[in-house]
Structure formats: C-alpha cells, structure tokens
Structure 1
Amino acid sequence: MTTTNATESTTKITVYGATGVTGGHLLIELDRRGITPILVGRNADRMHAAATAAGVRAAEVRVAEVSDHAALVAAFAGADVVISSLPSYVDHGEAVLAAAIDAGAHYTDLSGEQLFIKRVFDDYSARAEAAGVAVVPGITNSNLPGDLLGYLTSRRLTGPVEISMSLHGTSEGNGSKGSAKTVLASRDWFRTGGWHYQDGEFHTGAAARHPEMTFPDATESTTVSKFPQPPVLTIPRHSNVSYVEGVLETAFHSQLGALTAEIVESLPNEPTSGLSYDFVVDAFGSNGQTARGVLSGTDAYRDSALMAVAAAVRLADGTTKPGTLAAAEAFDPENFLDALAQFDITWRIEP
C-alpha cells in the first residue's frame, strides 16, 4: 500500500530515459513524492507523452542528444540528482554519467551490467570526488538487495565470509524489450558468468562454487550456474569476504545462446506486469555457520524504479560523501530496506 504525498518538494531530480517502462515508474514515484521531474532526452514529444501517460502533475522537458556532451551538461544544470534509465549501459551509460558529474549533480542509475559498473568504479571515482558529487550505480531490484543483504548477512557471521546470490522469479512472464537489448549487448559476458571475487581479486571463468540453491518455499534444490551479478563488485568494498559469486538457474543460460537481434526486435516493449521475485543471498561463515538474506517483491520493474528514486532522494539531501560508492557505503542498509515496506517489498535474514 502506497500513500500520496501532496507536498511540493524543492528537490530537483532529472531523469534521462523517462520514455521507457521503468522511466514511467520513475515519473510516477517522483510525482507521488511531490517532486517535479526534469525529463531529458532527444525527443520532446515522446517525453511529454511519457509525462502525460504517467499522470504527473507537472514536468519540465529539456532536449539533449546522448552524443552531445555539452548539451547534456547544460540539460543537467541545476539538478540535485540525475537518474539514468537506459537499455544497454555498456553502450550509452558513460555519456550520461560523465555529463552528470560535469554538471555537478549526484548520480544513480538502474544498470545491471558488471562491465559498466566496474568502469564506473575504476574510471569515474576520482572525477566524482573532485566534483564533490556522489555516484551510486546499479540500483535495481537485484543489485540493491544483493549489496545491502551482503553487508547485513556478512556481519552475522565470523569472517571472512563466502557469499552466493541469485535472483529467482516467482511468477511467469516476460521482461521488456529494453532488458533483452541489455542482455544482447553483453551476451557473451552473461554466458561466461562474468566476474567472481576470490581472495582479494576479481576472476573470470570457473564453475559456481555453490552449484545448487534451494529457493524460498521450495522443497528441492535447483541447479544454478555462475552469473555476473553486479554486487560481486560492490560487496568486497565494505564487507569481510573471501569469495563472492552470482548465480542464476542453469536453464536461463541455455536461452542466452539463441538470443539474436531479430528475436529481441520481435519481443513486446512492455514486460509482463507483476513479475514477482525473491533475491537470495546465502552467506557462509568461516566457522561453518550460515545466514540467508531474502528480499521479496511484487513487480521487478516497478520495484527497481522505486529503489532508484529512494536512492536519489537520499543523495539529494547532500550528506553522502563524494565519490563512487556501493549502496551499503552510501546508505544505511536496514533503514533503506525497511523504508521499502510501504510498497510491499519485504526483507528478512535467516536464521
């Protein structure tokens, strides 16, 4: 159950990529919070249509091509925070990020690609710190709980801790065309499992160390394969871990090999509504103890947008230290997760 906040806010949050499915959810949540969104993109008519479709009370539209750095910087001028909502961040994400930093705006996004997020940490940390802005990439319904639950579960155990994490859909349906484009852009990286963290370094290759996972409410275990979950990159920044891997049901990997541009174009733009899910973080302590963190949500696309707006609002208060940060470095993990309860997003740690 959500509540409407009719109080107008002076916070200025810009959305780049508001015309997509997730962008619509971003606009609805900003409007609910009384924040007048600033929409930036290449097509003014589509942005106005997106605002109308989202039912926002007011919106400001600014036109800028992603390839025009100066125009993007000018469009982001005056914003407290920029939210980047794109398909395929590996292709387009850096342009928006660089312009936000140069405009002096804090930044967050909904990227789910290890390759992009590692670039953000490796190549933009010093630039963000010098500009006095905070950059927190990868706020999605899997990345955010993965990082925050990794922080919380690891502190329940004697370290160094091993972590294995997975997203598990609990309803049938399809994702959006934009999500398929993201997967296609990094298809080979997804197929090979991406990075895992081991003894202080990131490694590629190798099978999953924990090849089976029993998901919540299941009576039997499921075979899983290594998968490039972005929290693999962020959890070691703040927690005492010796090994971190992402996994996904092995059946998903068999579908990746057949994915082509033609198939992607044939997919519907809109995802199935109400794609419910669990995100599971299993932690293994050095003394044999275990802990499990679970976040459960009711709509993957809506929930990612809600989390991104919640992150942006926290960044806008100006108290987050500058630089590129993991979610658990930027926000109080328990406070952030607890605040999602109003949207029927719940979390727990077992035992």
Structure 2
Amino acid sequence: MTKHEAHRPTIAVYGANGHTGGYLLTELHRRGLTPILVGRNTDRLRAAATAAGLTDPDIRLADLDDPNALAAAFSGADAVISSLPAYVELGEPILVAAIAAGAHYVDIAGEQLFLKRVLDEYGPRAEAAGVTVLPGVTDTNLPADLIAELIARRLPAPVEFTIGHHTRGGAGSRGSAKTLLASQDWFRDGGWHFAEGEFRTGPVRQAEMHYPGEAAPAPVAKFPFGAVLTIPRHIDAASVVGVLRSEFRDMVIGLTPELVAALPEKPGAASDMGHDLVVDAVGADGRRLRGVLSGLDSYRDSGLIAVEAAVRLAGGSAKAGVLVPAEAFDAADFLTSLGVHDIDWKIEIQ
C-alpha cells in the first residue's frame, strides 16, 4: 500500500459502463476500493461492476438533467471521476453536481472547448466548496503537462513546446468518435495554440514529427490537445502547439453521424499495441529536450491515470480550486508511480 492509498477513499464514477469506465472500476477494485457507480441504467451498471470483479456494488441512479439527483448520488464520495463522450455537450452537470456534493473532481475530457470553460469559470465555485477540480486527465494531457514542468526546469525560459501523440495500432471506440463529432470543426481546424502570451487559432508552421521507433518523420497537422491550455499556467512558454498525424485530421473531416453509429462500442483487439506521448522542447538558448511517455493502451492508461489522480486528490494534499496537473501533483513522483502499470517515461537530449 502506498502513502496515497492509506486513506482508502470513496470514489464515485459516472460513466462506469463505458469502455474506459471498465478500466476505472477494475483499477479501483485492484486497489481494494469499493466505488459508487452512478448512471441511468441499473442493469448496465451492474454488468459493469460484475465485469470488474465487484460484488455487492453501490449503484445509484441519476440523470444528467437532474442536478439534485446527481448531487445526492455523489454524497459521501471523496472524489468523482467523470468518464463521458462529448464533454462539450454532457460534461458540466457532473462537474456542478460533484462540487455541490463537496467532492473532488476528475474527468477524462479531451476537448479544449470544455477544458477552457472549466479553467476559466469554475475556480471560484470550487474554492468556495473546498474541493479540487482537475479536468482533462487523459493519457496525453496530464503526462504532457507534468513532463513539460520537468523539462522547463532544465531549459532557460521562454521555452517552445510541441506535443505529439502516436498510437502504434488499433482503432478508436464509438465514444471517441462521438467526442470528435461533437466538436468536429474545432478538431478539424486544430483549435488553440499558445504564442506571444495568448491563445490563438489558425495554422502553425509545424509540418512533421519524428515519432519514437519510426524510420522517418511523419506529416502532422495541428491538433487541440488539452495541455496546450494548461502548460502556460505554470511555465514561461514561448509557444505551445499540439500536433497529430495528418491522416487523423482527414478522418475527423470525414466523420458523419451515420459512420459514428456504425462503429463498435469498444475498440478492436489491436488497441493494445501501445502509444507514445511526445513533448519536444526548445529552450531560449537553442538547447533541445524531448520527453516521452509510453504505454500499452490509451483507454486503459487514461483510466489508470484518472484513478491515481482521484485517489491523490481524495488524500487532500492539493489546494482547493480548479488546478492543472503540475499545480496539483509532484510531477516526477506522479509519472514514476505509473510504472507499476508499464507506463514509462523519460527525458532525453535531442
């Protein structure tokens, strides 16, 4: 048992019957914790609990459009994990209810539009309730923010950051496609990047990235990673840009509701072929560093990271308010703790 698990917190999960939700429940069960499962369908929640090995689960029903029922369902929880598709459409009721219930909050949102809304608007409410809100805890956003913090300590400011993500096989789930479709124009156009002290839309000059293990650089397009918004909050950054393979943007442009409906609820078996998060940085003196976090499955790893974050917040070590990862946790300690799950990281000279 680690120092972060000594308290044995109570964690509520909304979205437990989804693909990532299954990983959340399995990891909570592995830690000896009994989660509260909150949702709209008893049978689906019970099936998710059984699949995760949970016996006699605590199941509570609440609709997203019933704030009082949601807050009541989260009562007694030290922290809430929100696992949803399309946070821009569905995410705020869970956040509002968690704050009302006096519970810390973590979500797995990958949408800049939702993340910026939370960062800009919910700080005073979270502080008044004495809770910590940590949005955007995914396999890309949280590690990128923490790795950037560690890199910034080694390079003179201001630092230029480029964030990339590379999946070595597999396909996405229907929930991921719903997320992309809900903000299709934003994902297609690349969202915000940070330059000259402000967030901007529009094109950037980055045209390629040399991903780990590949023989040649790959063409990339601007992509709206959440860490683009969080890194400038705690680092003197000259610029922060997110990029992804160009063919992914082409896939986003081609999404339709009909195609999304035809996708499987869960990704194919090849989704466990691994992924790499890349954080490239250039210091004011021209020195270059690269941080890399490598894992086995993006959905699994996002769930594991969210549980680690929720357990730590439940321990009460972070201040109240809306925080970004490096404001909530010791960067090296958090990243190293993921090694037990075969999620490894390093920083190297370029």
Query: What range is the shorter-chain TM-score in?
Result: over 0.9
Partner of 2:164: helix, strand, or coil?
strand
Contact kept, 8 Å, 1:9 with 1:36, in 2: the verdict is: no
Contact kept, 8 Å, 1:193 with 1:205, in 2: the verdict is: yes
Distance 2:29 2:237 in 1: 40
Letter in 2 for 1:215: Y
Partner of 1:276: 274
Partner of 1:165: 163
Partner of 2:209: 213
Partner of 1:226: 222
Distance 1:90 1:321 in 2: 26
Distance 2:48 2:283 in 1: 48
Alignment of 1:290-329 (within 5 A): 290-329=288-327
Partner of 1:338: 336
Partner of 2:64: 66
Alignment size in residue pairs:
345
Partner of 1:191: 188
Do residues 23 (structure 1) and 28 (structure 2) align?
no
Partner of 1:18: helix, strand, or coil?
coil
Contact kept, 8 Å, 1:109 with 1:137, in 2: the verdict is: yes
Distance 1:261 1:8 in 2: 46
Do residues 39 (structure 1) and 37 (structure 2) align?
yes
Partner of 1:247: helix, strand, or coil?
strand
Contact kept, 8 Å, 1:108 with 1:135, in 2: the verdict is: yes
Letter in 1 for 2:243: V
Partner of 2:83: 85
Do residues 107 (structure 1) and 91 (structure 2) align?
no
Distance 2:238 2:140 in 1: 21
Letter in 2 for 1:235: I
Distance 2:81 2:56 in 1: 18
Distance 1:228 1:193 in 2: 5
Distance 1:275 1:88 in 2: 25
- 1:247-280 deviation digits (Å, cap 9, x = unpaired): 0111111111210000000011111241410000
Structure 1 residues not aligned, in runs of 5+: none
Deviation at 1:24, TM superposition (A): 0.6
Structure 2 residues not aligned, in runs of 5+: none
Percent identity, aligned pairs only, is: 56
Distance 2:319 2:55 in 1: 32
Indicate how the Cα distance of structure 1 residues 332 and 58 shifts in structure 2: closer, same or farther if over 3 A, else same. farther
Deviation at 1:209, TM superposition (A): 2.9
Partner of 1:86: helix, strand, or coil?
coil
Contact kept, 8 Å, 1:36 with 1:58, in 2: the verdict is: no
Query: Which residue of the other structure, out of 258, 269, 281, is the alignment partner of 1:262?
Result: 258
Distance 2:165 2:293 in 1: 10
When the two structures are superposed, what TM-score results if normalisation uses the length of structure 1? Answer: 0.96
Distance 2:335 2:6 in 1: 25
Partner of 2:91: helix, strand, or coil?
helix
Query: Which residue of the other structure, out of 223, 226, 232, is the alignment partner of 1:236?
Result: 232
Deviation at 1:219, TM superposition (A): 2.4
Distance 1:21 1:291 in 2: 35
Partner of 2:77: helix, strand, or coil?
coil
Contact kept, 8 Å, 1:107 with 1:136, in 2: the verdict is: yes
Letter in 2 for 1:44: T
Do residues 139 (structure 1) and 158 (structure 2) align?
no
Distance 2:255 2:114 in 1: 21
Distance 1:11 1:230 in 2: 27
- 1:279-335 deviation digits (Å, cap 9, x = unpaired): 000001111101000000011111110000000000000121000010111011100
Contact kept, 8 Å, 2:7 with 2:315, in 1: the verdict is: no
Distance 2:6 2:152 in 1: 40
Deviation at 1:225, TM superposition (A): 1.1
